[in-house]
Structure 1
C-alpha cells in the first residue's frame, strides 16, 4: 500500500512540474513583457541608428555611397503551446517509467513550446524621401527652433550653415575647401552671448496665406554689452542700424537690410564636412583609396578644430560611444569625448528636422493572433 501511495505522489509531481513551468512562462507574456521589450528594442534601435550614421560618415570620407535604412515598424509576437499526457500499461517484464506493486507500468509526459517571432520592417531611404531628408538644405526656421529650445546657436550655425548674410563659414569639402571669412566666428560669438543674455528671439507669424519667420533683437540700451553685440551684428551683416525685427529667409545674401539670410547646409553636406576631418589609416592614404585630412594653418583657432573627433585603428576600441568597422579598420567616437558625443547626437536630431512632407506608409503586416 505504501508503494502505491509513493507511486501516486510521484505521478502527481511528474504532472505538476511541467504545468508549473509552462504557467511561469505565461507570466512574462503580454503586459509583463512590455517593460522589457520596449526598453530593449529602443536601445537596439538607438544603437543601430548611431552606428549607421557613423558608418555613412566614414563611407563619404572614402567617396563611397551612403545607405540609410529606417526602422518603420517593430512587432513582437509570442506563442506558447503546452501538452500533458498520462498513460498506463500492464507488463510482466521490465519497462521504463514508474512501476507499482502489482507490476503495472505508469507513463507520464509533458511537452511545451515557447516561440518569440519579432517582425521588423525596414524602409530604404531613397527617391523623393532621400531628397527631402538628406539633399535639401535644412530650413532656417528649423535651426532657430533649436536655438529657442536651448541648443547653442554658435555650434548650430557652425555645423549647419554655409553663410550668414554673405559672410561665409569654413568648409573642408574636397571639391573646394576655404577658410571662414574674418567676421564669421565673431558673429557666432556675438550670437552666443546674446542667446545667453536672452537678447534674441524667434517667432512665426501668419501674414496672409504665408507663414513668416521673424528674428528679433530684444536687448536694450541699459545693458551695454548686449547693445554692443547687437550693433556689431548689424554692422557686420549689413543690417539696418536700428532694426529690432528681421525677416528670416534662406539664401546667400539678403534682399534688403531688414532680412537675415541663412545659406544652410543639407544633412549630406554636414556628414561630408565631418567625414573630411575624420582620422584615417596612413596606409589607405598612401594607397590612394582616401584623401589626406586637411592640415590646420599655424594661425588656426579653436573653432578651426574638428567638431567631432573620429578615430581609427586596426583593433576595436575599448571605450567607444559608437564604433563601426569599414575597410578592415575600426572607426569610433571616444566615450570620454563629451563634445564629440553631444555634436554627434545633435546630428541625429538634425536628420529628423530635415524630414518634411508626408512620410511614406510602412508596409502592411498581418500578424496571427495566438
Structure 2
C-alpha cells in the first residue's frame, strides 16, 4: 500500500516526481557527452580513409586508361577537386511514468512508482565530393605537353632512382636516343643509352649528382652538377658520363638543363622529354592481353613482352590479364569480360606505376601534386 503524507499525497508519487527532472538531466548529459569530441576524433579517421580512397581511385583510373589505350579507346580523366565531409549528431530523451494509486487492487500494487527513461542518438556522415573532368587546355597539357626536364631531374635529386625515372620520361639525352614505340614497333635505344643511365645511377648513389634551380634573366632554369669522385669507380663513371654526353661542364661541374634534341654547347644537357601520352602508350603496349583478342583484331600484338632476354625490353609496368584478379592485386580493372591487374608482389611495377602520378602533375603544372582540399564541418 502507498504511504500517505500529512497532506494526503502518496509518498511514492511525491518521491518520483521530485526525482524525475534529475533523471532526465542525467540521461540528457550522457547522450550528449560525446558531441564536443566528434570533430577532433574524426580527423585521424577521415584523413586515413579519404587518402586511401583517393589512392585507390587514382590507381583504378590510371590503369583503366592504359587498358583503354591498348584497345584503341581514348583516355579520360575525372579529378577529385574537393571533399566536404559533414557530420550531424541528433539526440532525444523520453521519460515514461507509471504510478501506483490506492484505487488499484491491493494484489497488483507495488510499493513505489515506476519510471521508464529512454535516450536515443543518430549519427550521420554526409560527404560532398566535387569532380572536375579533364577537358580543353588541361587535357592538352596533361597528355601532350612534354614533362619539364628540370622537374625530371628534381625528382632524381629527391632520391628517386635516376635510371628508372629517365627510362620512363626521356626520349634522348644530348641526342643519345632512348628506346621507344612507334607504330606498334619497338625502336631500340642507342647502344650508349642504358650504360649512361646505369652510370648516372651509380653517381647518384655515390652522392655525386645534384640539381638546383637558378634565376637567369626572367626565367628559372635547372642546373645539373656532376662532381668528380675520389675513388676509381666514381672517377670512371664520371669520365664515362662526361665523354658519352660530349659535355664540357664549367669548373664547378655545372650543366644547364634545356629542352632540346641536341645541345648548343658543351655546357648544356639537352633533354628531349616525353609527354604523359607517350608514357601511357608505352605501358599499354606492354599489357599481356589474351591471345584471342589479338587473333580477332580487337588489338595488336604486345610489343614489350615479359619473356624478353633484356630487362630493358620488358614492360616497365607488368600488367597481367585473366578471368579474375588475385585478391591482393595492387590495382585491378575490368574491361569487357577480362580483368587486368598489377600484382602486389611486383615492387618494380608498383613503383613505376606510382611514379605516373608525379609525372602527371609535372606534365600539367611543372610541380609535384597536391591532394584535393578536404573540409570537415561538424554540426
TM-score, length-scaled by structure 2: 0.81
For the aligned residues, what is the CA RMSD?
Answer: 3.9
Q: Structure 1 unaligned runs (5+)?
A: 93-98
After superposition, residues 291-310 of structure 1 pair within 5 angstroms as 291-294=300-303, 300-310=309-319
Asked if residue 184 in structure 1 is aligned to residue 193 in structure 2, the reply is yes
**Structure 2 residue aligned with 1:270:** 279
1:198 has 2:191 as partner: no
CA contact (8 A) 2:177 2:193 kept: yes
Unaligned runs of 5+ in 2: 4-10, 102-107
The answer to whether residue 165 in structure 2 is matched with residue 145 in structure 1 is no
Say whether 1:224 aligns with 2:232: yes
- Asked whether the equivalents of residues 60 and 332 of structure 2 are also in contact (C-alpha less than 8 Å), the reply is yes
SS in structure 2 at match of 1:227: helix
Q: In structure 2, do the counterparts of structure 1 residues 164 and 53 end up closer, same or farther at CA, with 3 Å as the change threshold?
A: same
Q: Paired residue for 1:95?
A: none
C-alpha distance after superposition, 1:156-195 (max 9, x if no partner): 1111111111111111344553111111111111211222
Provide the residue aligned with 1:333 in structure 2.
342
**SS of match in other structure, 2:186:** coil
Deviations 1:285-326 (A, max 9, x none): 222111110266998422222111111111131221111212
Q: Which residue in 2 is equivalent to 1:52?
A: 61
Q: Structure 1 14/302 Cα, relative in aligned 2: closer, same or farther at 3 Å?
A: same
Matched residue SS, 1:324: strand
Q: 1:319 to 1:89 in 2, by over 3 A?
A: closer
> Which residue in 2 is equivalent to 1:155?
164
Cα separation, 1, equivalents of 2:149 and 2:143: 15
Q: Is the 8 A contact 1:308 1:343 kept in 2?
A: yes
Native 8 Å contact 2:184 2:300 kept in 1 = no
Give the Å deviation of 1:88: 6.1
* Counterpart pick for 1:35 among 29, 41, 44: 44
Shift of 1:74: 1.1
Residues 154, 211 of structure 2: 8 Å contact kept: yes
1:78 partnered with 2:92: no
Q: Deviations over 1:225-259 (max 9, x none)?
A: 33332332333333338873322101211222322
Query: Would the aligned equivalents of 1:173 and 1:272 in 2 still touch at CA under 8 Å?
Result: no
Number of matched residues?
Answer: 360
**Structure 2 counterpart of 1:236, from 233, 244, 247:** 244
1:81-133 Cα shifts (integer Å, max 9, x gaps): 223344669999xxxxxx9769x998866554332211111111222222223
Secondary structure of the corresponding residue to residue 319 of structure 1: coil
Mean CA deviation greater in 239-248 or 206-215: 239-248
> Which residue is equivalent to 1:321?
330
The 1:347/1:280 distance shift into structure 2, 3 A limit, reads same
TM-superposed CA distance for 1:358, in Å, is 11
Match of 2:104 in 1: none
SS in 2 for 1:293: coil
Match of residue 96 from structure 1:
none
Q: Does the CA contact (< 8 Å) of 1:311 and 1:331 recur in 2?
A: yes
- SS of 2:321's equivalent in the other structure is strand
The 5-angstrom pairing of residues 50-129 of structure 1 reads 50-86=59-95, 112-129=121-138
CA distance in 2, matches of 1:342, 1:367: 32
Within a 5 Å distance, the mapping from 1:166-177 to structure 2 comes to 166-174=175-183, 177=186
